[in-house]
Amino acid sequence: MLIRPIVILFFICCTNIILAQTPAINSQKFDKKAGASLTYGDKILKIKWPAGNNDYGQVELDMENGKPLFSRILLGKVKSAKLVSSNLDPSFLLTIGKRDLVSQNGWNIFFDKVPKKPFKTYDVKLEKSSAVVETVGSHTVVKISSLKADSFNGDLEITFYNGSPLFNIAAVMATDIDSSAIVYDAGLVSQAPEWETVSWINTADSLQTTNMVPTDTSKNIAVKYRTIAAKGKQGTLALFPAPHQYFYPLDEAFNLKFTWYGNNYRKMVDGYGIGIRQDLQGDKRFVPWFNAPPGTKQRLNFFCLLSTEDENSTFSAIKKFTHNDAYVKLPGYKTMSSHFHNEFIMNVVLANKPIPEVPDFVKVFKRTGVDIVHLAEFHYTAHPKGPDEQRLKELHALFEQCKRLSDDRLLLLPGEEPNEFFGGHWLSLFPKPVYWIMSREKGLAFSENHPSYGKIYHIGDKKDMLKLLEQENGLAWTAHARTKGSVETPDLYKNEDFFLSDHFMGAAWKPMPADLSQPRLGKRVLDLMDDMNNWNLKKTVISEADLFTITPENEMYAHMNVNYLMLDSLPKFTDSWQPVLNSMQKGRFFTSTGEVLMPSLTINGKQSGETLQLDDSGLATVKLDLNWTFPMNFVEVISGDGNKVYREKIDLTKTEAFGSQSLQFKTKLSDRTWVRIEAWDIAANGAFSQSFYIAK
């Protein structure tokens, strides 16, 4: 009589153990009507999504611990999908170091050398305990718990994008430890790889293919387009990072072999794989890594693109996401990039070295579609304070080379980062060649005529400098504001006469510091834009690259950005460049990383830099044309009243890759004094406008 209860209890216990070992799948927020489908059985979670061209992508996720997560990856027609890859695990290596939050300006510090301090690399471990599947716009997101690496904990997120054979794999992790700095390597790995070849495009822009040998020790390789691909019998899997977000800021854009393939990567990854990587030492100058403030969800992520075609076709599809690493032409706009310490004059021209007919840096700018380049020569390499004849000789050489190298495709503008008189670091630009010396002895005239160079200026202080800008209609602006050598500027001089002048344009934007928890780039200077607006000043912010070496082998595109200036034609070097300065000074431009474009933007019929009127309703009509490559994430309307900053986000997650859209919506701007627009995609690529001003 006692056997039956014991047997029943035994079966109940066994059932509970089985249930406990089967990961729970929560699909309450999954929308079956959004285009994708899911099924779950025998611990296999199947996701199928429309991948464009009447194809469907399908991923089968094995939720059993100890089994490869990606059981099968397929692409093709519903009844004839081809097997692209199988039995793959995502692999993440998280390297954790320390940021210097004391010596300068907290998390905004650039002059940090994280790899010079203790750090350690950890294998990110996945424990498949549960999963949540949800629909976000046109995306399907699978969150698998849980991940752990030292003090970092989180989930694995896999996002599939309707309309494209594209998906993203992210280790989303946070720590409670303060001052953490991180970098990560990642990839897809197999214990029994079925790939036949591995391919990439080398820095000479040539496709390279090697046979896959499972026992070959892993190799780090320098590539273009940041992509590595593996081909099987029926398809190709390409893997690449976010084109700009993955690259923390450095002084150099060296190609540091950002991809890898092979067995036993870093002697930490068990199996053969392909992936992306970071060089822990960077350019061996100042190496800040990524910020990871306590509690922030850092997205250690990479993209995968599926193809049933060969390697050439696959790479062609990848390159479309960045327009072949170039900036596309827009009617009514010219692209402009600033702040390059190339030092061609001092290192080549005046060093009596052979002067190439077309230097490499000119080839790079033309290939990337930059129409106007503003240089920052003589960065601690020349004689800014004289002797006078030496300084004038250097300037003359700069002007002559810029004139020689400018043509109907490229306007090469002479410029400097003077870093004298005003405080902090700043750049200057004049609408024509101007000879000036950064010193003025007592009794020496402000200006004089030189027998060879014509009018020259001697500048002794900030008043002289402002006078020069006024007389020659030049512009100045803060370089790398609130970081590097401008830690306290422009805040320190925001009430100075020179800063209040129209000839002090504002500041320059570069996405530093880097923080992988942010859905946008460059928050430091975007916040400064808002502050300057709330100071009731009409200042503009151009983008800057702030790079030293420009070569075809470099990873230039990842570190680049441009300003789309509202110009119908490219000025000739021999004419005035005043139209360029006017666009910069009056805010008639937008800034872009290249993937997101704003061909047209008006608010109540006005363009950026102009003042708009509101009616009694306080509502303004925003009309915005957007073009993009990666699916969009959001548009944000940022405004202020002189004290506070207000944000209104317009969700764009229903968009698909390679689209365009004309948006028209109303936004409440009562009691506001300014407004501006940002637009960001799912890879943290973006574009932002200059400010619009609101009449009282």
DSSP character string of 53-69: TTEEEEEEEE-STTS-S
Looking at 275, 298, 321, which one is the last position of a domain? 321
Tally the domains of the chain.
Answer: 3
Mean pLDDT of the chain: 96
458 is in which domain, residue-wise? 333-594
Residue 511: pLDDT band (50, 70, 90) is very high
CB atoms within 10 A of CB 267: 8
The predicted-structure confidence for 75-99, as pLDDT tens digits, reads as follows 999 889 999 999 999 999 999 999 9
> Domain with 658 in it: what CATH number?
2.60.40.770
pLDDT above 60: residue 18:
no
556 and 486 in a single domain? The answer is yes
Strand, coil or helix: what is 379?
Answer: coil
Can you tell me the mean pLDDT for 632-657? 98
Q: Does the pTM exceed 0.85?
A: yes
119 and 259 in a single domain? The answer is yes
Can you tell me the mean pLDDT for 483-506? 98
Catalogue the long-range contacts made by 99-103 (C-beta closer than 8 Å, 24 or more residues apart): 99/179, 99/180, 99/181, 99/288, 99/289, 99/291, 100/179, 101/178, 101/179
- Percent of the residues in the chain that have a pLDDT greater than 70, as a whole number: 97
690: Cα within 13 Å, side-chain hemisphere: 30
> Domain with 368 in it: what CATH number?
3.20.20
Residue at 608 is within a domain: yes
> Domain with 240 in it: what CATH number?
2.70.98
203 and 283 in a single domain? The answer is yes
Question: Looking at residue 16, what is its pLDDT?
Answer: 37
Question: Looking at residue 414, what is its pLDDT?
Answer: 98
Residue at 15 is within a domain: no
pLDDT above 60: residue 19:
no
The predicted-structure confidence for 263-309, as pLDDT tens digits, reads as follows 999 999 999 999 999 999 999 999 999 999 999 999 999 999 999 99
676 and 551 in a single domain? The answer is no
Residue at 162 is within a domain: yes
Rounded to the nearest angstrom, the gap between the alpha carbon of residue 682 and the centroid of all alpha carbons in its chain is 12
Looking at 276, 294, 321, which one is the last position of a domain? 321
Catalogue the long-range contacts made by 48-56 (C-beta closer than 8 Å, 24 or more residues apart): 49/140, 49/160, 49/161, 49/162, 50/162, 50/163, 51/75, 51/163, 51/164, 51/165, 51/166, 51/306, 52/163, 52/164, 52/165, 52/656, 52/657, 55/165, 55/308, 56/81
Residue at 485 is within a domain: yes
pLDDT above 90: residue 26:
yes
Catalogue the long-range contacts made by 399-408 (C-beta closer than 8 Å, 24 or more residues apart): 399/433, 401/344, 401/345, 401/349, 401/355, 402/375, 402/573, 403/573, 403/574, 405/358, 405/359, 405/362, 406/572, 406/573, 408/570
Query: Cβ distance 385 to 378 under 8 Å?
Result: no
The predicted-structure confidence for 349-360, as pLDDT tens digits, reads as follows 999 999 999 999
pLDDT above 90: residue 3:
no
657 and 585 in a single domain? The answer is no
Looking at 267, 298, 321, which one is the last position of a domain? 321
Q: How far apart are CA 517 and CA 123, in angstroms?
A: 20
Residue at 487 is within a domain: yes
190 and 282 in a single domain? The answer is yes
Question: Looking at residue 11, what is its pLDDT?
Answer: 41
The DSSP 8-state label assigned to residue 572 in this structure reads P
33 and 157 in a single domain? The answer is yes
Diameter over CA atoms, the chain: 120
Residue at 3 is within a domain: no
Query: In which element (H, E) is residue 13 found?
Result: helix 3-21
Residue at 11 is within a domain: no
585 and 657 in a single domain? The answer is no
479 and 412 in a single domain? The answer is yes
265 and 298 in a single domain? The answer is yes
Residue at 5 is within a domain: no
194 and 295 in a single domain? The answer is yes
The DSSP 8-state label assigned to residue 322 in this structure reads G
pLDDT above 90: residue 613:
yes
Cis amide bond preceding 359, omega within 30: no
Query: In 565-671, which residue ranges form alpha helices assigned H by DSSP?
Result: 578-586
Question: Looking at residue 21, what is its pLDDT?
Answer: 59
Strands annotated E in 99-201: 120-123, 125-136, 139-149, 152-161, 166-174, 180-190, 197-201
Question: Looking at residue 78, what is its pLDDT?
Answer: 85
pLDDT above 80: residue 14:
no
In which region does residue 652 sit, left (phi positive, over 0), alpha (psi from -120 to 50) or beta (all else)?
alpha
Question: Looking at residue 657, what is its pLDDT?
Answer: 98
460 and 311 in a single domain? The answer is no
CB atoms within 10 A of CB 45: 23
- Percent of the residues in the chain that have a pLDDT greater than 90, as a whole number: 96
